[in-house]
Amino acid sequence: MSQKPSTEAPLPSFEELREAVYEIVAQIPKGKVLTYGAIALLAGYPNHSRLVGRIMRSAPDGQLPCHRVVSATGRLAPHFPTQASLLAAEGVKLSPSDKVPLKTYLWQID
């Protein structure tokens, strides 16, 4: 009782989100990319793209293809100069403005 019947969604803890993000990012096919917002949504955290970004910043690079994660505008992550190289190695060509053409490389789940 006393449980207010509000529309609050039972969002998992930040730790749960971290694991969910790792799972999702690890499933991104080579040559494709995903946006922070999309990952947050798939993880069950709508509109929490920033949290995903914070997690990626602390994410273990080398085991996780974090270079396949870009912003909704196709912008690459700051302080991550090797991201462009890693993407290029997978066949992802950037726009003249250093942005990823999501129209072509965004991972669309079949």
Partner DNA sequence: GGGCTGACGTGGC
Partner DNA sequence: CGCCACGCCAGCC
Q: Would you tell me which residues interact with DNA (CB under 7 A)?
A: 14, 35-37, 47-54, 56-57, 59, 61, 66-67, 69, 71-73, 75, 77-80, 83, 95, 97
Q: In the complex, what is the shortest distance from the CB of residue 15 to DNA, in angstroms, rounded to a whole number?
A: 9
Whichever of 5 and 96 has its CB closer to DNA, that residue is: 96
CB of 59 to DNA, least distance (A): 6
By C-beta, is 1 or 108 nearer to DNA? 108
Please, what is the minimum distance in Å from the beta carbon of residue 58 to DNA? 7
Check if the beta carbon of residue 32 is closer than 8 Å to that of residue 87.
no
| 61 DSSP assignment | B
CB 91 within 8 A of CB 68: no
Min separation Cβ 1 and DNA, Å: 26
Distant-in-sequence, close-in-space partners of 66: CB < 8 Å, separation ≥ 6: 25, 56, 59, 77
Q: Give the helix/strand (H/E) hosting 76.
A: none
